[in-house]
Structure 1
Amino acid sequence: MARPLIGVSTYLESAARWGVWELEAALLPAGYPRLVQRAGGLAVMLPPDGPSRAAAVVARLDGVVVAGGPDVDPARYGAERSPRTGPPAHERDAWELALIDAALASGTPLLGICRGMQLLNVALGGTLVQHLDGHVKDVGVVGHHDVIPVAGSLYASLVPEVSAVPTYHHQAVDRLGEGLRVSARAADGTVEAVELPGGAWALAVQWHPEMGDDVRVMGGLVNAAS
Structure 2
Amino acid sequence: MVKPLIGVSTYLESRASWGVWELPAALLPAGYPRLVQAAGGIAAMLPPDDPSHAASVVARLDGLVVAGGPDVEPERYGAEREPRTGPPARERDAWELALIRAALVSGTPLLGICRGMQLLNVALGGTLVQHIDGHTEDVGVFGAHPVTPVAGTRYAAVVPEETYVPTYHHQAVDRLGEGLRASAHATDGTVEAVELPGDRFALGVQWHPEMGEDVRVMTALVRAASGG
Same fold (TM over 0.5): yes
Query: Is 1:29 equivalent to 2:29 in the alignment?
Result: yes
Cα displacement (A) at 1:199: 4.6
Matched residues in 1 for 2:19 and 2:5: separation? 31
Q: How many residues align?
A: 226
Matched residues in 2 for 1:15 and 1:188: separation? 37
Determine the structure 2 residue equivalent to 1:188.
188
Matched residues in 2 for 1:119 and 1:128: separation? 9
Q: Deviations over 1:150-170 (max 9, x none)?
A: 000000000000010010000
Q: State how 1:1-226 maps to structure 2 within 5 Å.
A: 1-226=1-226
* Shift in alpha-carbon separation, 1:193–1:186, aligned structure 2, 3 A: same
Q: Deviations over 1:166-186 (max 9, x none)?
A: 100000000000000000001
Unaligned runs of 5+ in 1: none
Root mean square deviation, CA, Å: 0.7
Q: Deviations over 1:41-78 (max 9, x none)?
A: 00010000000000111011000000000000000000
CA contact (8 A) 1:58 1:108 kept: yes
**TM superposition outliers: structure 1 runs of 4+ over 4 Å:** none
Cα displacement (A) at 1:134: 2.3
Matched residues in 2 for 1:54 and 1:11: separation? 16
Q: Deviations over 1:54-107 (max 9, x none)?
A: 011101100000000000000000001010000000000000000001100100
TM-score, L = length of structure 2: 0.98
2:72 is paired with a residue whose SS is coil
Unaligned runs of 5+ in 2: none
CA contact (8 A) 1:77 1:122 kept: yes
TM-score, L = length of structure 1: 0.99
Q: Which amino acid aligns with 2:148?
A: I
Matched residues in 1 for 2:101 and 2:41: separation? 22
Matched residues in 2 for 1:164 and 1:18: separation? 33
Q: Deviations over 1:172-212 (max 9, x none)?
A: 00000000000000111100000011252100000000000
1:157 is paired with a residue whose SS is helix
Q: Which amino acid aligns with 1:187?
A: T
Cα displacement (A) at 1:20: 2.3
